[in-house]
Structure 1
């Protein structure tokens, strides 16, 4: 007597929601979100579409989860920075915190930095990023009022320069490389704030 037939496996074993999101983010960064299809995702993972949809509702959900990971991390770092008593300490803390988030969530932050605002999800993420930048610009202005950042600099421009340096890390940082993320944060802090200090 033969036993009951076993149900067919859907796709390769070992793929969970987190793995699918990681693969989606990797593809979005490689070839662009708009240019990535669900077929690209299933091909990369070796899954059927039904197996993919067992874990995520759509490629839009993958984007949303990844952006929330990046923005949520940055916003929490900013909240923590705002707890410090002086503007200089708050500005230093958000620089360190942003570097920490970027190095820990490099693929997600890379995706955030490459958004074009072509969907509601992207537009909402860009609005949150602008609010983040606006708050950091306020910290720069406060640091100027405390005399720790040059007052002759435009605060918004200084903020863009600081985060231009931080964001450039996504292009060359390697998590398995020799650079310690905490040390990298201290080095970026030294270069940025050192260059922004008032002249004697």
Structure 2
């Protein structure tokens, strides 16, 4: 519930009073279980990031041709976004205003580097076009994935596997018939 309040009001715009009201408890009850709102933020951001990093350790992300590993990570990232939508949405909105946010951004950069390495390996193997900057390719691929957080609503139309298929098709095959 706290993540929903952070997403609606922004972390900086959310007070402990707002959180207590949304959770239906007193502020002291929150402080009994959590050090403060920054701990709630950290737990939410870690939930999203831990899910993304779990993808990087899956067998399909660690063995085989780089292009196949890249596609796996892209597809599974769509699933993570769908499964952890409120937490990923919050992750995508942090700007580094606090130590917790800075740490989350560092972890996001680490994930981006992992994906960038896959693109570079794909270029070296001849499976990815050499005329596209790997860093730009990663930003474009995950810009497409991350934009899903703005409009996707689970249970309303397309499901996560179909969405992952569509994203992978556009990313790896393009739109041309």
> 1:116 aligned to 2:57?
no
Q: 2-side partners of 1:92 and 1:118: how far apart?
A: 33
Is the 8 Å Cα contact of residues 2 and 23 (structure 2) preserved in structure 1? no
Partner secondary structure for residue 35 of structure 1 = coil
CA displacement, residues 117-158 of structure 1 (integer Å, 9 cap, x when unaligned): 011111111001001101101101111222222110001001
Picking from 98, 105, 109, the partner of 2:84 is 105
1:95 paired with 2:74, answer yes
Distance in 2, matches of 1:150 and 1:96, equals 20
**TM-score computed with the length of structure 2 as normaliser:** 0.93
- Who is 2:57 aligned against? 79
Within 5 A, what are the aligned runs for 1:1-200? 23-80=1-58, 81-195=60-174
Instruction: Give ranges in structure 2 of 5+ residues lacking alignment.
Output: none
SS at match of 1:101: helix
Q: Deviations over 1:10-39 (max 9, x none)?
A: xxxxxxxxxxxxx11111111110110000
Unpaired runs of 5+ residues, structure 1, are: 1-22, 196-200
Is the radius of gyration larger for structure 1 or structure 2?
Answer: 1
Distance in 1 separating the partners of 2:111 and 2:27? 37
How far did 1:54 drift? Answer: 3.1
Q: Distance in 1 between matches of 2:173 and 2:122?
A: 13
Say which is worse superposed, 171-180 or 81-90, in terms of deviation.
81-90
CA distance in 2, matches of 1:46, 1:121: 25
For structure 1, which segment, 43-52 or 71-80, has the greater mean C-alpha deviation from structure 2 after superposition? 43-52
Relative to total residues, which structure has the larger helix share, 1 or 2? 2
- TM-score for both structures, normalised by structure 1: 0.83
CA distance in 2, matches of 1:55, 1:35: 22
Q: Over aligned residue pairs, what C-alpha RMSD do you find?
A: 1.4
